[in-house]
Structure 1
Amino acid sequence: MNFLVVGGAGYIGSHMVKQLRRAGHELVVADNFSTGYRSALMGATLVELDIADAQALDRLFAAHAFDAVFHFASFIQVGESVSEPAKYYQNNLAATLTLLQAMIRADVKRFIFSSTAAVYGDPVYVPIDEDHPKAAINPYGRSKWMVEQMLEDFDRAYGLKSVCLRYFNAAGADPDGELGERHEPETHLLPLILQAASGRRESITIYGRDYDTPDGTCIRDYVHVSDLVAAHALAVDYLLDDGESTAFNLGNGQGFSVQQVIDTARRVTGKEIRVSEAPRRAGDPPRLVADPTRAQAILGWRAQFASLEQIVRHAWAWEQKHPWQ
């Protein structure tokens, strides 16, 4: 197959590129490098563009007969989305609309979208299935939910088929050690913990120890990045086999607390890892855990790296490389 991977130089996108190339597919990466890294492409064909540029997209689609498009080019920082909502609606929503319009003009009718569990907002029940009410509580989550709604309309009007993959907490790194997580600034828990272990930061902060959980810290569902991209590969096969537009939750179906992640990192790294404490942050629910039953039943997806220790070990091997320094 011939695929376009938008945002293929980023964390999850680069792992997707490696997966697709390993499977023998042809692909082009489109990225503007606002957050991605050229070194993450490992020789993949690159077209440097911004998906907000309709003319550049038309040239790209005219030059290639793509079977499907993978979209990873969203901004993801929740806090920044609150302070700079225009940035998030412009990139995550408006630029995605420009991409979808270019696809329709080029008669490309299959789309794999990186969505998020943030579309659900504060959970009404746990574990969270796909039918859970959608009530995003920040512009990041709302921008993703708006795209999902837009995709429903594009299916009805233009026959564009899509799969929306709602990630819970993406974590870990390529088991081969070639790729990993490197956001700037970093906001995800596990890399922050491992930066404290490696000495790149003084400590890790725990925000609240008074939640209604066994150890008082928040519980989250961590899913290995390699398992995420495996789900994307299954999702595109599903669409190529004439599957209908739908959405899937991607998580392990089990939660680990902040304290459990720190304790596991201490065992894996052999480092003390200093901890500081702060009050709860607004909008942090006690538990966010996926119900991945639907992805398992329809896609045949199973997490291969469900162990927290495996996730931490792969991320630690990547952190020790310091490829960005």
Structure 2
Amino acid sequence: MDFLDSRRKSNSTGKVIAVAFFIAVCIVMLKQVYSPNYTSPDMFSQHELGVTHVLVTGGAGYIGSHAALRLLKDSYRVTIVDNLSRGNLGAVKVLQELFPEPGRLQFIYADLGDAKAVNKIFAENAFDAAMHFAAVAYVGESTIEPLRYYHNITSNTLVVLEAMAAHNVKTLIYSSTCATYGEPIKMPIREETPQLPINPYGKAKKMAEDIIIDFSNTTDMAVMILRYFNVIGSDPEGRLGEAPRPELREHGRISGACFDAARGIIPGLKVKGTDYKTADGTCVRDYIDVTDLVDAHVKALAHAKPRKVGIYNVGTGKGRSVKEFVDACKKATGVDIKVEYLDRRPGDYAEVFSDPSKIQQELNWTAQYTDLQKSLQNAWKWQKSHLNGYGHS
């Protein structure tokens, strides 16, 4: 009798433990499913009918984060890969807060120079397309650190392409630059304008373009290459902005220098060259708003076709002088920025602007945000509310 009682007690104890374990597992699973931050890995690792999963390299950066925002708004599934060397985790957090639903957005910290890591990312995710922004992107810095630029731009693009080939990802939108054209003799710049880059940044980008085109000739890939001009502005709703590393200010865009002068971070603006053959003697450039730029990328994705390579200039088609830009910046910030006029900077050319007629005709894209002052006002509004970038508002 004692032996039987003992066995019954042992069996019932085992059953109680089994039931308790089952309940605990159910609770954990329910918590995960209903947690707003929980994302089933299967949603990213499997293709889903009606959902396009886009890899956005450099998606924590200025342009990449704005592109990710637009893709998410348009119901794409987005995976951002960034090593945060130039990007901002704060931008990713903004996107995660805006789109917390399962299967919408994931961030992967990785370096595209690490082929093993990149291959693992492609193996574990079912990408339908790649939008390749990741790149160091300062002309001046490229002349000081050329090897870094060839490695980061050309070599890393090769790693991405090899991973796309290995994992059968057939669509690539490549974010390129007008720097591949160098110093064109004729204006405006058309897609057929000879590419004769004059600095390592432009050369590295052109090499990457050549690799992409050569590879696409051997496959049924859909490729879109967008060469764009001077990017300005920020999200009109103030959610994202440009927050470069402080140590890179000297290499940065003119808009950043204008804002730094308006904030008193630097004593004023230095305009190099006032004797060019232009209307007011200062250089003329084509300024494209970041909202228009990402619109062009999304339209390129929608129009990408197998066995086709589309190459497009993304600009307004209208040049604005540096003096015009500075005047617009003064009005946008409400600060009478001190301007110092200096001799020309070696390598600068008088006039650079695009002919965007091809992208207008083929992709039905036209720049909408062409009011220089308004674009700068949007960017200034974000700067003022984020004095330390994404760190603190």
* Partner of residue 69, structure 1: 130
What is the distance in 2 between the residues matched to 1:12 and 1:320? 19
* Partner of residue 189, structure 1: 254
Deviations 1:138-170 (A, max 9, x none): 010000011111111111123332111101101
What is the distance in 1 between the residues matched to 2:382 and 2:253? 15
CA drift of 1:210 comes to 0.6
Deviations 1:198-246 (A, max 9, x none): 222210110011111111110100000000000000000111x547212
* Partner of residue 166, structure 1: 227
The structure whose RCO (Cα within 8 Å, separation 6+) is larger is: 1
Decide which of 275, 279, 283 is 1:214's aligned counterpart: 279
What is the distance in 1 between the residues matched to 2:348 and 2:243? 23
* Partner of residue 136, structure 1: 197
Deviations 1:68-127 (A, max 9, x none): 001111111111111111101111001110111011000001111110000110021111
- Check if 1:300 corresponds to 2:364: yes
CA contact (8 A) 1:191 1:315 kept: no
* Partner of residue 235, structure 1: 300
- Relative to 1, partners in 2 of residues 1:39 and 1:206: Cα closer, same or farther, differing over 3 Å? same
Deviations 1:236-276 (A, max 9, x none): 0111x547212100100101111101111112222110112
Amino acid of the structure 2 residue aligned with 1:18: L
Name segments (4+ residues, structure 1) moved above 6 Å. Answer: none
CA contact (8 A) 1:123 1:285 kept: no
What is the distance in 2 between the residues matched to 1:268 and 1:85? 36
Give % identity: 39
What is the distance in 2 between the residues matched to 1:196 and 1:175? 22
CA contact (8 A) 2:233 2:375 kept: yes
- Relative to 1, partners in 2 of residues 1:152 and 1:14: Cα closer, same or farther, differing over 3 Å? same
Decide which of 56, 59, 84 is 1:8's aligned counterpart: 59
- Relative to 1, partners in 2 of residues 1:268 and 1:225: Cα closer, same or farther, differing over 3 Å? same
Pairs within 5 Å for 1:38-57: 38-41=89-92, 42=94, 43=96, 44-57=105-118
SS in structure 2 of the partner of residue 45 of structure 1: strand
Amino acid of the structure 1 residue aligned with 2:383: E
Decide which of 165, 168, 171 is 1:107's aligned counterpart: 168
- Superposition CA RMSD, Å: 1.2
What is the distance in 1 between the residues matched to 2:388 and 2:130? 29
Pairs within 5 Å for 1:8-27: 8-27=59-78
* Partner of residue 95, structure 1: 156
Task: Normalising by structure 1, report the TM-score.
Answer: 0.97
CA drift of 1:55 comes to 1.5
Normalized per residue, the structure richer in helix is 2
* Partner of residue 10, structure 2: none
What is the distance in 2 between the residues matched to 1:243 and 1:309? 41
- Check if 1:257 corresponds to 2:324: no
Deviations 1:19-64 (A, max 9, x none): 0111111110000011100011121410111111111112111111
Task: Normalising by structure 2, report the TM-score.
Answer: 0.81
What is the distance in 2 between the residues matched to 1:138 and 1:297? 31
CA contact (8 A) 2:112 2:160 kept: yes
Gapped runs of 5+ residues in structure 1? none
What is the distance in 1 between the residues matched to 2:195 and 2:273? 26
* Partner of residue 38, structure 2: none
* Partner of residue 246, structure 1: 310
Gapped runs of 5+ residues in structure 2? 1-51, 97-104
